Structure 1
């Protein structure tokens, strides 16, 4: 720690401005010019990490190329006494995290976001992502009564083309409360990820809280991936419901459903305040589904969040107001369409977060149980909601003494129906005439069907090759519940061949509720990501079935207990 009056890299230290995970920032005097600067130093204890050092140095190179009035400029960088440093312009004012929502007029909050959006779009056009947009990185300076807005700390900004390489080595440091679903799932990122974080920031400035808050990081992650956006109009008096639709779009789980740019989002928010008219209707809510990617998952450092009262997560709204004939349509009046259905559902989410989250949070299992018990109570019904389709009945059992495929043609829809009828309490109903089925399975899992020619993407846990299967129901169980995948083979020989090809496992015959199974517990699983392959011995005449299940934040024993409790028959 440097003290006042000390010199470092030629700069005279005035005082410490702040300290974070990567180092500290000091107010310092320039050695030759009558100027105060912000001097950022990388912590010595992480200097040995080559990738952290490269990222720190790259920060200066990236930001030095971003000459924009809303971006904090970098003056110089170097290494002194084996410690990297960056000299930046000193912004004499608070950051947006210090603003009290109750005292911040909504129009000022939107203006701060609009100025930040200009900086982000400028960086995006030059191939640079910020990746850590949050109120603490938005600095405010007041000169002659005018408020100036600066976006700071591109410390984890990276060129798009280099993102995958840096992600492989390990550290994802975006603050969890403002991270996009694709950041949390290790998916490829683009400018729309920064837009999501910017929308979380506006939500915080308007309400004093983040969209998805919880006592433990896993609950926050669950919110980003699965819960609808709480309407700000219900959290602060005077905010128009038209603003709910703008935030619902910018905070869409699927990037393609968001605005085309950060500036477009900010303009829509301004329009919502200027024109708070129109009728409302509830938008369908679609949980995040990770897209197939060859990029490895990013690892996330989950920063513990302070406990606070959890805001009710309600359905997202959109306003539809007919514009006058002489007025072009406003962005806010555009209904947000539900994104096209993905060929894959949530998988591999939080793989990188699991090990890092678990170590400091020993008691996380209890919070997961509480989350499941309380989740429904946090979603009050809305009287303006369109009628929802009736839930699929997953409790009806099919006779086990007959072949469920009898009379069904052999194509993917019929095959999916075979699986649904064979495991009616685990899988949703399948339409035998549809080549693509989806629905809700056991414990609320999001399930989707796949053909062998277009299999589910790898979860990142090292999924086994299950051989020549005909169709699969892939179900992502969400936070606290294992993911599971049922595959159907057209013959017992195909199933036996797939099981014979498994590598590295311990084999156990087990009897549960009078039924016999063979479990293959796969070796070399990731920390708290156990993997289990189950062979069924029902003696079906025509088909054979195998289940592959993977735990999340669970041990091998906990996954086995889940297996024993699952309604497999």
Structure 2
């Protein structure tokens, strides 16, 4: 901690302005100019990696190019004594998280968010995402009786992710209460992710609450992924129902259901407040699922490189958006008093780590007790004990007539698991569709395998075709087909650190390989099927998010895999 009068990077420290998980912010005096600056010192322990340092320098150069009236200017940046720092304009005023909704006229709340929207759209046109939009990063300053709005901390969330490898592990990249479903599920981001967080911020300024509040972080995440936002008109008297529709659209679980830009969103909000009859149409609420096609966006390019023609955002082969409908209404929630949660969750680290730490201990104990290569027989029905009553497995015979065409091969998988997978077009090399519980399913070939789930996926060997189905709010699952039984057996033999169990459900026998050592609340399960026809070799890989091994197994038991 620096004290008043000390010098750092040539700046004279006046006093500490704040402290958080990323470091500290000080009010400092410029050594040569009559100017006060905000000096942000980023934590040393986050930036020990040389690649992270390079990223810090590139981000600093990029952010310095964002010259906009609503973006906090960055003056300088550097690294002194292994401590990265950023010098930026000092904004003499509060941040938006300090505003009380009861004392904030709705028109002023929308104006604050509208000016923030202009800053975001400006950055998005230059290929830069903010990734951490929340009231605490919206700064307010009164100049000549006029309130000015500044958006701060561009690039800081990205730096934090690179420093701590959060993106690689699929962990959360923004404050939970303002994070988009895409961020919480580790999906690619585009400008509409910032729009979602901006809508959460407007919700907070209008009502004093956040759209999805819960005592436990898992509850907050569940709300973002699965629940419709409550209507603001029910939480604050005098707000028109037309505003509910606008926020419902900006808070759509799927990015394609949101507005085309942040400014379009805030324009609609202003219109809904002043002219409720001109309400926007809203895409009906549906739980979030990642897009079936690749979404392309080039956030935060190398400084000096012009964004390509797709740098705004493009998506191909997306399913058509559902027809417009009136927003779903929800009963008013009881208002609960919380000290700081209504702002930016200053204690988000404690909220996430402490409740989950106990679960981590439980999971690790279960892993220690259950990790074994010794089969543990479990059964929903009595399991036959004599060898002549056990049916041969689908990995004991050759794969008869496996087609060379990938579409025809995908069709075999679809026909084998019709309630889990969409029907495939045998003439198409790539198929997409909706699977069990609304999962987004896509076919893959070995040359371009499915993306990593972030759970540490096992090597499933020399498979020929795969259907990969991504569900948010539900486990992600993958069916793979092999050219020969020997290939499937080889994949099973290569697994390590598992608990093997035979399960019989509805007269059908399966063998599960529950993999130990999974990341916290991201269990993994490989299923071996036993033959009905003696053709083809199949395996199923399932991984969960924010569930325990037992919860994943219960989901698997309820899935229609017969």
Shared fold (TM-score, shorter chain, > 0.5) = yes
Q: For residues 194 and 470 of structure 2, what CA distance do their matches in structure 1 show?
A: 29
Q: Output the TM-score relative to the length of structure 1.
A: 0.68
Structure 1 residues 455 and 52: alpha-carbon distance in aligned structure 2, compared to 1, 3 A threshold: closer
Q: Is the 8 A contact 2:360 2:520 kept in 1?
A: no
Shift of 1:204: 1.1
Aligned equivalent of 2:453? 459
Aligned equivalent of 1:510? 502
Aligned equivalent of 1:498? 488
**1:261-305: CA deviation from partner (whole Å, max 9, x where unpaired):** 22222211111112111689874223222235599xx9xxxxxxx
Shift of 1:235: 1.9
Q: For residues 463 and 221 of structure 1, what CA distance do their matches in structure 2 show?
A: 26
Q: Is the 8 A contact 2:218 2:546 kept in 1?
A: no
Shift of 1:147: 0.6
Shift of 1:232: 1.7
Shift of 1:244: 2.0
Q: For residues 236 and 290 of structure 1, what CA distance do their matches in structure 2 show?
A: 33
Q: For residues 245 and 151 of structure 1, what CA distance do their matches in structure 2 show?
A: 26
Q: Is the 8 A contact 1:467 1:494 kept in 2?
A: no
Deviates further, 76-85 or 108-117: 76-85
Q: Is the 8 A contact 2:526 2:542 kept in 1?
A: yes
Aligned equivalent of 1:206? 206
> Is residue 63 of structure 1 aligned with residue 63 of structure 2?
yes
> Is residue 340 of structure 1 aligned with residue 319 of structure 2?
yes
Structure 1 unaligned segments of length 5 or more: list them. Answer: 299-338, 343-352, 367-400, 402-409
Shift of 1:202: 0.9
Q: Is the 8 A contact 1:140 1:150 kept in 2?
A: yes
Shift of 1:132: 1.2
Aligned equivalent of 1:179? 179
**1:397-445: CA deviation from partner (whole Å, max 9, x where unpaired):** xxxx9xxxxxxxx99779646534xxx7xx5998999x9896684xxx3
1:99-248 correspondence runs (5 A): 99-156=99-156, 167=167, 173-248=173-248
Q: Is the 8 A contact 1:358 1:364 kept in 2?
A: no
Structure 1 residues 466 and 203: alpha-carbon distance in aligned structure 2, compared to 1, 3 A threshold: farther
Deviates further, 77-86 or 260-269: 77-86
Aligned equivalent of 2:328? none
Deviates further, 278-287 or 20-29: 278-287
Q: For residues 559 and 179 of structure 1, what CA distance do their matches in structure 2 show?
A: 25
Structure 1 residues 40 and 207: alpha-carbon distance in aligned structure 2, compared to 1, 3 A threshold: same
Q: How many residues align?
A: 459
Q: Output the TM-score relative to the length of structure 2.
A: 0.68
Q: For residues 6 and 437 of structure 1, what CA distance do their matches in structure 2 show?
A: 61
Aligned equivalent of 1:552? 545
Q: Is the 8 A contact 1:469 1:494 kept in 2?
A: no
Shift of 1:62: 2.5
Shift of 1:146: 0.9
Structure 2 unaligned segments of length 5 or more: list them. Answer: 300-317, 322-347, 362-390, 392-407
Q: For residues 187 and 475 of structure 1, what CA distance do their matches in structure 2 show?
A: 11
Q: For residues 450 and 81 of structure 1, what CA distance do their matches in structure 2 show?
A: 49
SS where residue 128 of structure 1 aligns? Answer: coil
> Is residue 250 of structure 1 aligned with residue 244 of structure 2?
no
Q: For residues 189 and 61 of structure 1, what CA distance do their matches in structure 2 show?
A: 22
Structure 1 residues 16 and 122: alpha-carbon distance in aligned structure 2, compared to 1, 3 A threshold: same
**1:442-479: CA deviation from partner (whole Å, max 9, x where unpaired):** xxx33455556698655344255476678858463x54
Q: Is the 8 A contact 1:57 1:84 kept in 2?
A: no
Q: For residues 191 and 127 of structure 1, what CA distance do their matches in structure 2 show?
A: 9
Q: Is the 8 A contact 2:242 2:276 kept in 1?
A: yes
Aligned equivalent of 2:438? 446
SS where residue 72 of structure 1 aligns? Answer: coil
Q: For residues 524 and 122 of structure 1, what CA distance do their matches in structure 2 show?
A: 44
> Is residue 362 of structure 1 aligned with residue 354 of structure 2?
no
Deviates further, 228-237 or 543-552: 543-552
Deviates further, 254-263 or 195-204: 254-263
Deviates further, 60-69 or 262-271: 60-69
Shift of 1:177: 1.5
1:393-542 correspondence runs (5 A): 416=414, 419-420=417-418, 427=420, 441=436, 445-447=437-439, 457-460=451-454, 461-462=456-457, 464-465=459-460, 472=467, 474=469, 476=471, 478-479=472-473, 482-485=475-478, 494=484, 497-502=487-492, 503-505=494-496, 506=498, 508=500, 510-512=502-504, 515-522=508-515, 525-537=518-530, 539-540=532-533
SS where residue 239 of structure 1 aligns? Answer: coil
**1:71-109: CA deviation from partner (whole Å, max 9, x where unpaired):** 111223333444332222111111000011111111101
